[in-house]
Amino acid sequence: MYLRLMSHTAAQAAIGDSEFDRDTAIAPRAGEAGVYDAELSAGWTIISAVNGGYLLALVGRALAAALPHPDPFTVSAHYLTSSVPGPAVIRTQLVRSGRTLSTGQASLFQYDENGAEVERIRVLASYGDLASLPDSVHTTARPPAIPAYEDCLGTEAGPAPIPGSSEIVDRLRLRLDPATAGWAVGAPSGKGEMRAWFELADGRDADPLSLLLAVDALPPTSFDLGLMGWTPTVELTTHIRHRPAPGPLRVAITTRNLAGGFLEEDAEVWDSADRLVAQSRQLARAPRT
* Residues lying near a second copy in the complex (CB under 8 A): 73-74, 76, 78, 80-81, 95-96, 101, 103, 105, 119, 122-126, 130, 133-141, 191-192, 225, 234-235, 237, 239, 241-242, 255-262, 264, 275-276, 279, 281, 283
CA distance 203 to 12: 5
Assign 169 to helix, strand or coil.
helix
Q: How far is the CB of 254 from a second copy (least distance, A)?
A: 9
User: Cβ closer to a second copy: 20 or 73?
Assistant: 73
Q: Residue 255 Cβ, how far from a second copy at the closest point, in Å?
A: 8
Q: How far is the CB of 18 from a second copy (least distance, A)?
A: 27
- In sequence order, the β-bridge partners of residue 17 are 14
Q: Which of 169, 193, 197, 161 is nearest to 179 (CA)?
A: 193
* Dist CA 37 CA 117 (whole Å): 12
Nearest-5° Cα angle at 33, 31 to 36:
95
Nearest distance in Å: CB 262, a second copy:
7
Neighbours of 36 (CB within 10 A): 24
Residue 1 or 259 with smaller CB distance to a second copy? 259
Taking residue 141's Cβ as centre, other Cβ atoms within 10 Å add up to 10
**Cβ closest to a second copy, residue 48 vs residue 237:** 237
Which residue, 41 or 238, is less far from a second copy as judged by CB?
A: 238
Comparing CB distances to a second copy, the nearer of 151 and 235 is 235
| φ, ψ (nearest 5 deg) of residue 82 | -75, 130
Residue 69 Cβ, how far from a second copy at the closest point, in Å? 13
**In this structure, how many other beta carbons lie within 10 angstroms of the beta carbon of residue 114?**
5
